[in-house]
Structure 1
Amino acid sequence: MSNYSIKDLEHLSGIKAHTLRIWEQRYNLVQPKRTETNIRYYDDADLKLILNVALLNNNGFKISKIAKMSPVDIRDKVIALTEGTLAYEDQIHALTVSMIEIDEERFDRVLSINQRSIGFDETMLRVIYPFLAKIGLLWQIGSISPAQEHFISNLIRQKLIVAIDQYVYQGGGKKFLLFLPEGELHEISLLFASYLIKREGHKVIYLGQSTPKDDLIEVYNFHQPDFLITVITTSPDADSLQNYVDELASVFRKSEWIISGYQVLRTPVQLPKNVRLLEKIEDIKGFVEMLLGEEKVPG
């Protein structure tokens, strides 16, 4: 079970801490626990309740009415809402609750509703990525347990692999080599890039997580890809990043190397001429579509 501060609840629910305190005092919605040193905290049940209350409140339910509902009534209303609305924030709330409860069936239901309505691409861009961004900070500061993070990441990873497997390379197009640096395990964005590239008919050589440098260079020299794509979230660290980029850019000098990720964006890096920075890996969608357009232009 995880512990949350009132600021954690604010970030996840979108309800200001000041408002949450008023709700506590006026409606007795939740009662924070206290540590031995008298620091207030909230548990998974409190977070789940606040998420559900926020969702109902955002959909027109008055807080005074919500406060009188039983937990079962609140849950039933929330399920009906999330299955009947396509408001992205509501879907993100539902995913957060499924993460807290380790509820695979609810996660699948939310994704299926969105995929049928807006398609897989838009579900990733409008629901999954904002959801991951919302919980990312809490994961880094330890407010979300490893079990919760692994549960949700593996479910998203499974969905991406299924989507990728729909497409079989038929020849033609560009050749992409996708990899994560040694020690880097955050794979979701790289998988999404693989899905987008394969769907457009390009060839993908997917090396995935924690690729040793020597192995990467061997594969590069053998396949000579047109493009490489890397997402650097934590590894290499900030002190080693410039040397890593410079070394591999010199090896990849006949190709264009596309990099993205938290570590790259927060660390000042001088990019060699054959390295392109994407502010968001989601921008790979526009990049791949641009390549497709170029191939259709005569001459």
Structure 2
Amino acid sequence: MSTYSIKDLEQLSGIKAHTLRIWEQRYDLLQPKRTDTNIRYYDDDDLKLILNVALLNDNGFKISKISKMSPSEMRDEVIRLTDRNLTHDDQIHALTICMVEMDEERLEKVLSTNILKFGFEQTMLNIIYPFLSKIGVLWQTGAINPGQEHFISNLIRQKLIVAIDGQVSKYTGKKFLLFLPEGEMHEISLLFAAYIIKAKGHQVLYLGQNTPREDLKAVYRLHRPKYLVTVITTSPSQDNVQEYLDELSQNFQDSEIVVSGYQIVGQDLNFPKNVRALHYIRQLRDFVEEINEVMVEK
């Protein structure tokens, strides 16, 4: 079971810590535990409760009424609400609850409902990515355990693979080679890049996680792609990213290399002439659309 500080609850629920403390005192809404050194902390049940409270409160329920609900009444009301036409923030709350409860059936329903309503691309951009960003920092600090993170990422990965397979293309566009560096296993952004590129009519050569340098060179020699795309989240480390970018630029001089990820965004790096950094996943969509516009003009 994970433990959370009141700041963790604030980040995940959007309810200010000051407000949470008032609700504790006035409505006995939360009952924090204490460590041997008298430090307050909260558990998974507290997090589930406050996420449900936040969603209900955002949709017009007064805290005085919410505090009188039983856990089952609260959950039923939350499910009823998330089945309706709610905001992106409400859906992100619903996904967070599914993650904490490890509720695969409910998660599947939330994702499928949003995909049907908004389309796969908009669901990724407006709901799934903000959700992953929201939980990412807490996972790194240990507030969310690796099992919960793997549960979520594997289900999203499955959705991405199905969506990619569903794209029927005649490959009239350019050839893209997608890969992750050696040691890099965070694949969701690369899979979504594959979806976007394929949906726009281009050919995707997908090498995926942990691609050895020599394998990358061999595939490149065989296919001569116009573009290479990679995402650097953890590997190579920050100290070695510049060297890695320079190496990519030198080895694949005839192609444009598109890079993104945690080790790229906001870092003090010098990008070689044939390397382009994207700071947001939306920029990849814009980049591919620019290519399509040039192709049409020609």
TM-score by length of 1: 0.98
**CA offsets 1:238-275 (integer angstroms, 9 cap, x no match):** 11111111011111110000000011114311000000
CA distance in 2, matches of 1:221, 1:28: 66
Deviates more, 1:120-129 or 1:261-270: 261-270
C-alpha deviation, 1:169, in angstroms: 4.2
- What is the rounded CA distance, in whole Å, between the counterparts of 1:22 and 1:210 in structure 2? 48
Cα deviation for residue 90 of structure 1 reads 0.5
Amino acid at match of 2:95: L
1:28 paired with 2:28, answer: yes
* CA apart distance, 1:34: 1.0
Q: Which secondary structure does the structure 1 equivalent of 2:209 belong to? A: strand
Q: Report if the CA contact (8 A) 1:180-1:231 is conserved.
A: yes
Aligned to 1:178: 178
Distance 2:171 2:7 in 1: 51
The range that moved more, 72-81 or 279-288, is 279-288
Paired with 1:8 and 1:115, the residues of 2 have a C-alpha distance of: 29
Is 1:14 paired with 2:14?
Answer: yes
> 1:187: how far off?
0.5
SS of alignment partner, residue 186 of structure 1: coil
Could you tell me which residue of structure 2 aligns to residue 60 of structure 1? 60
Distance in structure 2 (CA, Å) of the matches to 1:81 and 1:171 = 42
Which residue in 1 is equivalent to 2:119? Answer: 119
Structural RMSD (CA): 1.0
Corresponding residue for residue 42 of structure 1: 42
| AA partner of residue 251 (structure 1) | N
Q: Which residue in the other structure is 1:96 paired with?
A: 96
- Unmatched runs of 5 consecutive residues or more in structure 1: none
1:192 alignment counterpart? 192
The answer as to 2:136 corresponding to 1:136 is yes
Matches within 5 A, 1:236-255: 236-255=236-255
Task: Say whether the 8 Å CA contact 1:55–1:90 is kept in structure 2.
Answer: yes
Q: Deviations over 1:116-147 (max 9, x none)?
A: 11111110001000000000000111111110
The DSSP-based 3-state class of the residue aligned with 1:265 is: coil
State the distance in 1 between where 2:276 and 2:86 align: 35
Give, in whole Å, the separation in 2 of the partners of 1:169 and 1:114: 24
Q: Say if 1:181 and 1:209, in contact at 8 Å, map to a contact too.
A: yes
Tell me the SS of whatever aligns to 2:143.
coil
Tell me, in whole angstroms, the C-alpha distance in 2 between the residues paired with 1:132 and 1:175. 29
Q: Bigger shift: 212-221 or 231-240?
A: 212-221
Contact kept, 8 Å, 1:178 with 1:206, in 2: the verdict is yes
Q: Deviations over 1:11-62 (max 9, x none)?
A: 0000000000111111011111111121111111100000000000011111
Q: Secondary structure at the match of 2:235?
A: coil
Unaligned ranges ≥5, structure 2: none
**Structure 2 partner of 1:214:** 214
The answer to whether structure 1 residue 201 and structure 2 residue 211 are counterparts is no
Identical positions, percent:
65
TM-score normalized by the length of structure 2: 0.98
Conservation of the 8 A alpha-carbon contact between 1:185 and 1:210: yes
Per-residue CA shift, 1:163-182, capped at 9, x if unaligned? Answer: 00012442321000000111
Structure 1 residue 196 displacement after superposition: 0.8
CA distance in 1, matches of 2:152, 2:286: 26
- Alignment partners' CA distance in 2, 1:151 and 1:266: 29
Look up the match of 1:110: 110
Quick one: which amino acid aligns to residue 40 of structure 1? R
Q: Give the partner amino acid of 2:236.
A: P
- Runs of 4+ aligned structure 1 residues displaced above 3 Å come to none
SS of the residue corresponding to residue 3 of structure 2 reads: coil
Residue aligned with 2:287, SS = helix
Q: SS of the counterpart of 2:192?
A: helix
Offset of 1:222 from its aligned partner?
A: 1.6
Cα pair 1:231 1:281 within 8 Å, conserved: no
Alignment of structure 1 residues 136-175 onto 2, 5 Å: 136-175=136-175
- Mapped to 2, the partners of 1:81 and 1:194 lie a distance apart of 33
Stretch moving more, 275-284 or 233-242: 275-284
User: 2:46 aligned with 1:81, yes or no?
Assistant: no
The residue that corresponds to 1:235 in the other structure is: 235
Distance in 1 (alpha carbons) for counterparts of 2:201 and 2:86: 30
Equivalence for 1:69: 69
1:279 maps to 2:295: no
| Aligned counterparts of 1:293 and 1:79: Cα–Cα separation in 2 | 43
In 2, the alpha carbon distance for the partners of 1:215 and 1:268 equals: 29
What is the letter of the counterpart of residue 7 of structure 1?
Answer: K
